[in-house]
Structure 1
């Protein structure tokens, strides 16, 4: 992060950015080739049309100066041939007409090409990110991921819409003009183009600084997006602690850093055009001085001199664009590095090529000497073995950090065990298809996520082919139908991101309906009733019996009253199983579970 002159309070130090660091690297041609591979699907359709149209307009632009200089001046005007001059005017008008049509087609198809490539690239990146493992998201903020899918890919738009075709056009133009100039007058051509190597040398020297500057811009944008995302999602906490001023001060700092990095990168990029114009001025001076000398000595004609003068404007224009193209390419490479970093990210949880289908299961779960660690210093589970029989209700209890949610995550195969194996119906989860497994499992979390859309669409999320009647029936079973019917549009009511128009209890009821509609064989309730008041909880206990009936259920709860009827209660502490059994058995043992129950009821008595 850029050094800040402002004073930071401890509050501001809550933000840490460790993922994005600007690094000096040589220009990666392999990466550019990889980027251009996204043009392959259009290599036989859109791209050829754009290239042909570009060639037509380029040929016309090169022909016109030759016709004006060598034909108009050296032939028609020199010989007072009005008829030839008139034919030339008509011919040039026709050529410009062709150039207009060619440019119109080129602009249309290069934009179509660019938009298609950007669409494909963004789709590819989003689809890939969707398949990455939880560890990937554990280490990155939502804002940094969003900025790569949106901003970084948008940075490539200019490259694909204009840059590539313009690059081809400018290279062809410059090469052809140089050849023509040497054919017309080798001496004058050699004198005029001597400045080109100097210009490219200067531009190359600036490459490293410009590249690093644009890297820094992308990094700072990612930080800005991360802070915005966190600030908006945590606005209620910010307001409840009256920290708006501190938040604004921090935002101002990040925003200032972003502004400074943009200014720095833009300033360095802006140096290219003045260099090109300065080179153009030297070229014009050489043309006037040496060209006049050659005319006086009869080595070149006035028409050739005029052709050189006309080509000078055409010559330096593509040189200028190539300088801008180089900047554009540096920006694109900076963005593509970050995009390919994500695309090269491999899921920690991989599906084997010969993974077995899991068409139907009974819901028999086994943990065989399972050890799991989020990192080397933090072991979450210590070689535990347990069994969850089909249709059994299993409760996981223990203090925070005891390993309850880790067990649920391993059943979903969000992570793989460090040692041992997790099995469903005797199948090691590493041997089965991920989609097949997760379609057999429904998860209801404490913090239920509601997507933007209608109530109907949110319930149907886990089973898109469900009918409206099935959706409504699922809502009725869990007791959600009552409040849905009271909404203005009923099941067609639009809910915004995270369902902010609904109460926490209502969002939880929707998640129950969503889980029931998916008809899973295994259901995981992770503090699922924590956000529901006691009265509502009593109402849905019957619905839960319907939801859990015939299914293997894993219930994680701190509120022990909700798991009294579980078939098996597993007490965890620091990733180890202390004891297990049903409620009555564990109470008779007067062990850890007994102590948890007593302490919880003691707290209630104290209230």
Structure 2
């Protein structure tokens, strides 16, 4: 698991990030080479300027002046080309790395247990997959290589300065420790500040996404002002996080500018005196040192600025790797592929808990024969939906075994297992896409003709064709263009076209109108014929004809039998439920 580090720079994290450049190592090396060339071209300009002053302007040699000016133009051209190649390929490399990293992250998230998403805020995960990974790209485009280029340029400049005049160089280096110390402090402070900024960005994203998604509830319960106030508080924390970074910048950069100005003054004073006395220090050397000192300090100031970018990228990388290191996936070690499922289902002493020590299923044992329609009823929290979640292996059981056709589902590959189970949930999720794509989920093996034939069989073809563009009607985000009953019919057709060996209806008729319910009931009779079906329902009228009814209470099975058998049990749980619902009618 990636951990939050208090160090100014985490080399272990950096090494891990750099490993993602391995497939593009030639581009990596080319960018590094371009950085070296930039450092060389950078020091050539002051050198040529020195030559122009000492060998052409002071001696008044016009012919030689043209020669040096031509050299300066040539060097400038090569520097521009190197700068272009450096910037382009550094950004290209960054985009390739985040492309691979984002794909790997999303692939990893696809395999997470449902339990992980139960505990994780969607907004934070979106931040990790989108903005955090985008921030990582800046490590390559504006951070790492820029810093390498600046450091190389500084080393070359210092070498040349010592070669020209060790006295002026030492004078410049007197101010350097102040800049280095200020930069070091600045780096540490900015790391902590940017960690806080990323935390506040995640909180802000999570808050906004949840409120927009739940806007109906916000408006229905007149929570606009309350949520507005909460948003202002979160936004204020976000602002304070950024203000802290601004504060550190406002302290550091004036110190750097002041140090630079003092250095220029010292060079002009000492170098001017030496030049006037006819020393080896010439006027050209003094002018060159003024430019060289700025070139020395400017990268140092830029390094601090680029280090901010690098730190933001490293903080983002730490957060992304924390998700990648999360071991919350369902182990897919099953090697068996189920070609055809008869539909025998067995739960043998199955125990399960969402939270350790708080069992939801307490030793459940049940058998469903192939082709049977089995209904599961019970109060909210009895464990009904948990059973179907475990059947599809959305969660791992604590103990016991679950078998399909006498085969332990842990030995079956997840894709194979889930391809034979179709689930219709009470809360239907539709993507912002066409009805056809929401039914087939872009499965190329299911044609539009098959979908239409299935829709006609269950009686909803006319409803779909009544919509603009029919099967190609875009239902928008979460299917908001359809009523809850219409969304339920679409989800039922989605399950039907897959021709599953096992059908699960999880309270699929609890939130729809009587007309839609009748359509569902007619379709249920058709699709469940000769197929194992598990029906979870609060409305007992919908399950009277079930082959078996399993009654659950607080994680245990308290009664089993068909409708008539259960009604005969004096003071039975099912009988009491039925009488209450019948009395309500």
Residue 49 of structure 1 deviates from its aligned partner by 4.0
Residue 275 of structure 1 deviates from its aligned partner by 2.9
2:18 corresponds to 1:36: yes
String of CA shifts for 1:334-382, please: whole Å, max 9, x gaps: 2122111111111252122x63333333222211111101112421000
Matches of 2:479 and 2:583 in 1, distance apart? Answer: 36
Call closer, same or farther: CA 1:272–1:126 in 2, change over 3 Å: farther
1:44-443 pair list within 5 angstroms = 44=26, 46-69=27-50, 71-297=51-277, 298-352=279-333, 355-443=335-423
Call closer, same or farther: CA 1:476–1:58 in 2, change over 3 Å: farther
Whether contact under 8 Å (1:23, 1:212) holds in the other structure is no
Matches of 1:49 and 1:36 in 2, distance apart? Answer: 15
SS of corresponding position for 1:211: helix
| Bigger mean CA deviation after superposition, 454-463 or 357-366 | 357-366
Matches of 1:544 and 1:220 in 2, distance apart? Answer: 49
2:540 corresponds to 1:565: no
Call closer, same or farther: CA 1:266–1:433 in 2, change over 3 Å: farther
Call closer, same or farther: CA 1:441–1:462 in 2, change over 3 Å: farther
Whether contact under 8 Å (2:8, 2:191) holds in the other structure is no
Whether contact under 8 Å (1:478, 1:512) holds in the other structure is no
Matches of 1:318 and 1:461 in 2, distance apart? Answer: 53
Matches of 1:518 and 1:282 in 2, distance apart? Answer: 77
Residue 178 of structure 1 deviates from its aligned partner by 0.8
String of CA shifts for 1:192-249, please: whole Å, max 9, x gaps: 1232232222232244432222222222222222221221222222222222222212
Call closer, same or farther: CA 1:259–1:464 in 2, change over 3 Å: farther
String of CA shifts for 1:391-414, please: whole Å, max 9, x gaps: 221111100110001111100101
Call closer, same or farther: CA 1:462–1:494 in 2, change over 3 Å: closer
Matches of 2:544 and 2:314 in 1, distance apart? Answer: 59
Call closer, same or farther: CA 1:23–1:167 in 2, change over 3 Å: closer
Matches of 1:61 and 1:491 in 2, distance apart? Answer: 63
Whether contact under 8 Å (1:455, 1:492) holds in the other structure is yes
Q: Give me the CA root mean square deviation.
A: 2.1
SS of corresponding position for 1:566: coil
Call closer, same or farther: CA 1:359–1:199 in 2, change over 3 Å: farther
Matches of 1:135 and 1:223 in 2, distance apart? Answer: 21
Match of 1:16 in 2: none
SS of corresponding position for 2:401: strand
2:552 corresponds to 1:581: no
TM-score under structure 2 length normalisation: 0.95
Whether contact under 8 Å (2:385, 2:536) holds in the other structure is yes
Residue 185 of structure 1 deviates from its aligned partner by 1.3
Whether contact under 8 Å (1:273, 1:324) holds in the other structure is no
Residue 132 of structure 1 deviates from its aligned partner by 0.9
Matches of 1:399 and 1:205 in 2, distance apart? Answer: 61
Whether contact under 8 Å (2:347, 2:364) holds in the other structure is yes
| Bigger mean CA deviation after superposition, 88-97 or 404-413 | 88-97
Call closer, same or farther: CA 1:232–1:479 in 2, change over 3 Å: farther
2:424 corresponds to 1:444: yes
Residue 66 of structure 1 deviates from its aligned partner by 0.8
String of CA shifts for 1:252-278, please: whole Å, max 9, x gaps: 222222222222233224433223222
| Bigger mean CA deviation after superposition, 168-177 or 110-119 | 110-119
SS of corresponding position for 1:571: strand
Match of 1:547 in 2: 527
SS of corresponding position for 1:366: strand
Q: Which runs of 4+ in 1 moved over 6 A?
A: 20-23
Residue 455 of structure 1 deviates from its aligned partner by 0.9
Matches of 1:474 and 1:203 in 2, distance apart? Answer: 69
Matches of 1:426 and 1:201 in 2, distance apart? Answer: 71
| Bigger mean CA deviation after superposition, 364-373 or 530-539 | 530-539
Whether contact under 8 Å (2:272, 2:283) holds in the other structure is no
Whether contact under 8 Å (1:405, 1:556) holds in the other structure is yes
Structure 2 gaps, min length 5 = none
Whether contact under 8 Å (2:545, 2:563) holds in the other structure is yes
Matches of 1:482 and 1:491 in 2, distance apart? Answer: 11
Matches of 2:452 and 2:354 in 1, distance apart? Answer: 40
SS of corresponding position for 1:194: helix
| Bigger mean CA deviation after superposition, 179-188 or 301-310 | 301-310
2:579 corresponds to 1:598: yes
Of 467, 483, 491, 2:463 maps to 483
Match of 1:8 in 2: none
Call closer, same or farther: CA 1:286–1:328 in 2, change over 3 Å: same
Matches of 1:105 and 1:212 in 2, distance apart? Answer: 33
| Bigger mean CA deviation after superposition, 107-116 or 439-448 | 107-116
SS of corresponding position for 2:362: strand
Structure 1 gaps, min length 5 = 1-19
SS of corresponding position for 1:386: strand
SS of corresponding position for 1:374: strand
Residue 113 of structure 1 deviates from its aligned partner by 2.1
Match of 1:504 in 2: 484
